[in-house]
Amino acid sequence: MFRHCSTSACQPDPRADRNQANAFSAGLVWKLFLVCGSKVLSMNIRKISDAAIEEAAALLRLGRLVAFPTETVYGLGADASNDMAVAEIFAVKNRPQFNPLIVHVDGIDMARRLVIWNATADKLARTFWPGPLTLVLPRFPGSPVSLLVGAGGPTLGLRMPSDINARKLISATGFALAAPSANRSGRVSPTTAQHVHEELGRDVPLILDGGMCPVGIESTVIDISAETAVLLRPGFVTQEQIENLLGCEVIAKGDDSGACQSPGRTPSHYAPTLPLRLNVMEPRADEALLAFGIHVPPGAKMVINLSEASDLKLAAARLFASLRLLDKPEFTAIAVMPIPHDGLGAAINDRLMRAAHGSTALAESAC
């Protein structure tokens, strides 16, 4: 520090100098660690704002990935017409290539440029869009969407999110966004920006933080590319709502129903690290309990209640975040109380069954 000083009178004690220098550099290193460390943790997360949306749109135009909030879960977005950008999604997610991606649009006009629109699509979109309903339709022959998005198949799944910022982002880029849930393949979907960061870290250049997703469960997927409507994935918009609107029966494809099922509905698609025990009324002392309703059995090491008031919407919104909180090595398993199967309960149970698939722990009852 004082090396330029030439007179012995102003030369400080060399040991004091060394100590001071050491203290200084240790302090500097610590400060740098704090600044850089926190930067590394948070530098790719930005609170949503018009400026952040512009920044995200610029990245997307360059073929980069951006994670963004929707009303259901966070999506990992890319320009749907850019093959390399779409391939990057598969790479980051480590997703099987045969699993097609949902294309996010900012309105019916954009959708009509990508697929062969039909009267059923019009009816469903005018009622449930913007919102958590994905329509699978035949690709338009000149559709600019990358073939990789539909995994090489003849159809595309489209949805118009109700999250205003998601739509602003699509409009700002001027093109449709291919966006699966922003998690590694086979893991639970993220419902906060922090979940995305934990899951994908620095593999995503930018994560737009719009807070917690209000729906918390992925969109309903319905295939209306042929004569008969087929429900490929249950979600927030229920089969009953769709049937009431269309005035006809919708076929729901089960897991063992053959080739037509949604490729993402493989049995182990949503898997926490810990085994799951379903329909549990007597949790063990070393287990975490995912509870539902007011009558919670005692005995578990930790309890998270999806909804004391038995509200299925609230339970859906909290499902993935709660599974993440309980998926910790201090527990041997996640025990899950029975969830009623009606309405949104079907979608919640669908996700739980998938999460439990491959678990060594068995369900206490088979309902």
Sign of CA dihedral 130, 203, 322, 283: positive
DSSP state of 365: S
Sheet architecture: strand order including 288-291 = 276-277, 334-336, 288-291, 302-305
In the shown chain, the binding pattern of residues 337 to 366 toward ligand TXA, with x for contact by CB under 6 A and - for none, equals: ------------------------------
Give the residue with the Cβ less far from Mg ion, 82 or 181.
181
Give the residue with the Cβ less far from ligand TXA, 77 or 275.
77
For residue 179, the partner it binds in Mg ion, ligand TXA, none, with Cβ less than 5 to 8 A by kind, is ligand TXA
Q: Is 176 helix (H, G, I), strand (E, B) or coil?
A: coil
Contact between 100 and ligand TXA by CB under 6 A: the answer reads yes
Q: Where does this chain touch ligand TXA (CB under 6 A) — which range of 37-45, 47-55, 96-104, 317-325?
A: 96-104
Tell me how crowded residue 162 is: count the other CB atoms within 10 A of its CB.
18
Contact between 322 and Mg ion by CB under 5 A: the answer reads no
Give the residue with the Cβ less far from Mg ion, 194 or 266.
266
CA nearest neighbour of 363 among 345, 347, 343, 339: 339
In the shown chain, the binding pattern of residues 212 to 251 toward ligand TXA, with x for contact by CB under 6 A and - for none, equals: ------xx-x----------xx------------------
Sign of CA dihedral 182, 187, 189, 195: negative
How buried is 228 (Cβ within 10 angstroms: 0-12 exposed, 13-18 middle, 19+ buried)? exposed
What contacts 98, CB < 8 A, 6 or more positions away?
Answer: 151, 263
In the shown chain, the binding pattern of residues 177 to 196 toward Mg ion, with x for contact by CB under 5 A and - for none, equals: ----x---------------
Give the residue with the Cβ less far from Mg ion, 173 or 181.
181
Q: Where does this chain touch Mg ion (CB under 5 A) — which range of 130-138, 174-182, 291-299, 322-330?
A: 174-182
For residue 168, the partner it binds in Mg ion, ligand TXA, none, with Cβ less than 5 to 8 A by kind, is none
Strand partners of residue 277: 335
Strands 302-305 and 288-291: parallel
For residue 132, the partner it binds in ligand TXA, Mg ion, none, with Cβ less than 5 to 8 A by kind, is ligand TXA
Give the residue with the Cβ less far from ligand TXA, 162 or 305.
162
Contact between 138 and ligand TXA by CB under 6 A: the answer reads no
**Residues in 166-185 at the binding interface with ligand TXA, rule: CB under 6 A:** 179-181
Give the residue with the Cβ less far from Mg ion, 318 or 351.
351
Contact between 99 and ligand TXA by CB under 6 A: the answer reads yes
CA 52, 55, 57, 59: dihedral to nearest 10 degrees? -140
Give the residue with the Cβ less far from ligand TXA, 156 or 326.
156
Contact predicate 241/231, CB 8 Å? no
Strands 206-209 and 155-159: unpaired
R_g over Cα of the chain = 25
Residue of 130, 131, 138, 150 that binds ligand TXA (CB under 6 A) = 150
Q: Whole-angstrom Cα distance, residue 141 to residue 116?
A: 8
Instruction: Find the shortest distance in angstroms from Cβ 292 to ligand TXA.
Output: 22
Residues that bind ligand TXA (CB under 6 A): 70, 72-73, 75, 99-102, 132, 134, 136, 150, 153, 155-157, 179-181, 218-219, 221, 232-233, 262-265
